[in-house]
Amino acid sequence: MKMSVEFLRILWFVLIAVLWVGFFFLEGFDFGVGMLLPFLGKRDEERRLILNSIGPHWDGNEVWLLTAGGATFAAFPQWYATLFSGFYIPLLLLLLALIVRGVAFEFRSKDRSPRWRNLWDWCIFAGSLLPALLLGVAFANIVAGVPINDKMTFTGNLFTLLSPFGLLGGLSLVAVFLLHGINFLNRKLTGDLLERSRDWTSRLWLAAFIFEAGWGIATILIISSHAQLRGLGIALVILALLLLLAAGLLVFRNRDGWTFITTGVSVLLIPVSYFTFLFPRLMVSSTSTEFSLTVSNASSSAYTLTVMSIVALVFLPFVLAYQIWSYWVFRKRLGSGTSKLTY
């Protein structure tokens, strides 16, 4: 049965949103663990345990980002062109941070020198903090609106993106990722390190809730006024805040599993709410609403979208199955008696 081009455009808008949701959830705790590394781990053995909690997964989690970028390029080339040219410096910094982070994971264990390992630990910290901050700033600006002219060209500069709402979006994402990361560690660690991690959780929850509450209020006031699915978007923001509030109650009961789940759902609702406020637009123009990029004026041809849909239908189940299997294989907790630590 031949699918209409309108259906294919909406389908790929949803699929790209799903890719970002997967990235936020999986790389969210990944980044959070990386940011916590120099502070939570007091000794080298503890830092190795922290790193090995995400060791089998961190590079696989980044595939979601690469796939989202590739899907954007193929399905909505004009969106890709406007985004990557207008946000060139932030995206370059994001790429450099991810490169440094990947190198740090591989190089850390090459030398036993404390100075050597401490250097790469801080590289992992910076390589986790900067992407979280930049992605939060970028998404906030994409949805709130940036100057785009009638030729679909971004006419602002780096300082345009550093608006109060953009910075709030970045800081709130950092805070939520930190909470998501420490909740993941509470599911993976044992012994004294687990107790220290739990002690940190309540403080990180409070910071995350304050920032996400500020983000939620600002989002409702700034973005919802020009959103087509306004009611649904507001409901998703409120649900994210309620789930984070519920996570706080679970933190004080040491319900690690349920805390991780509720925080994780709250994290994934952030991109879901952003894409809900966006639809049917891809980038909002603050110059004129007529200049906004939409699923109609920025998409590829029907043939391209059809071929992409067939490829995704064939290969996506295998990718998902493999990633689920990898988490199942490495599901056990890590402690001082754990052997064969990689990092």
Please tell me what DSSP assigns to residue 334: B
> Is residue 172 assigned to a domain?
yes
> Is residue 275 assigned to a domain?
yes
Please report which helix (H) or strand (E) contains residue 189, including its range. none
Please report which helix (H) or strand (E) contains residue 210, including its range. helix 191-222
Look up tokens 């930049």; give the residue.
134
Q: How many domains does the chain have?
A: 1
**What is the CB neighbour count within 10 angstroms for residue 276?**
24
For CA atoms 68, 306, 304, 321, give the dihedral sign: positive
Q: Which amino acid is at 215?
A: W
Is the model more confident about 224 or about 211?
211
pLDDT single digits (tens) 303-335: 999 999 998 888 888 888 888 888 888 888 776
40 and 200 Cβ atoms separated by less than 8 Å: yes
> Is residue 337 assigned to a domain?
no
Residue 291's closest CA among 155, 164, 166?
A: 155
**What is the CB neighbour count within 10 angstroms for residue 246?**
16
> Is residue 342 assigned to a domain?
no
CA distances from 186 to 29, 54, 203, 325 (A): 11, 13, 14, 21
Q: What is the extent of the structural domain holding 105?
A: 5-329
> Is residue 35 assigned to a domain?
yes
Please report which helix (H) or strand (E) contains residue 293, including its range. strand 293-294
pLDDT single digits (tens) 99-152: 999 999 999 988 889 999 999 999 999 999 999 999 999 999 999 999 999 999
> Is residue 336 assigned to a domain?
no
pLDDT single digits (tens) 6-41: 999 999 999 999 999 999 999 999 999 999 999 998
pLDDT at 337: 61
> Is residue 169 assigned to a domain?
yes
**pTM as predicted:** 0.93
Weakest-pLDDT range from 50-64, 118-132, 199-213: 50-64
229 and 276 Cβ atoms separated by less than 8 Å: yes
Is the model more confident about 329 or about 242?
242
Please tell me what DSSP assigns to residue 225: G
> Is residue 100 assigned to a domain?
yes
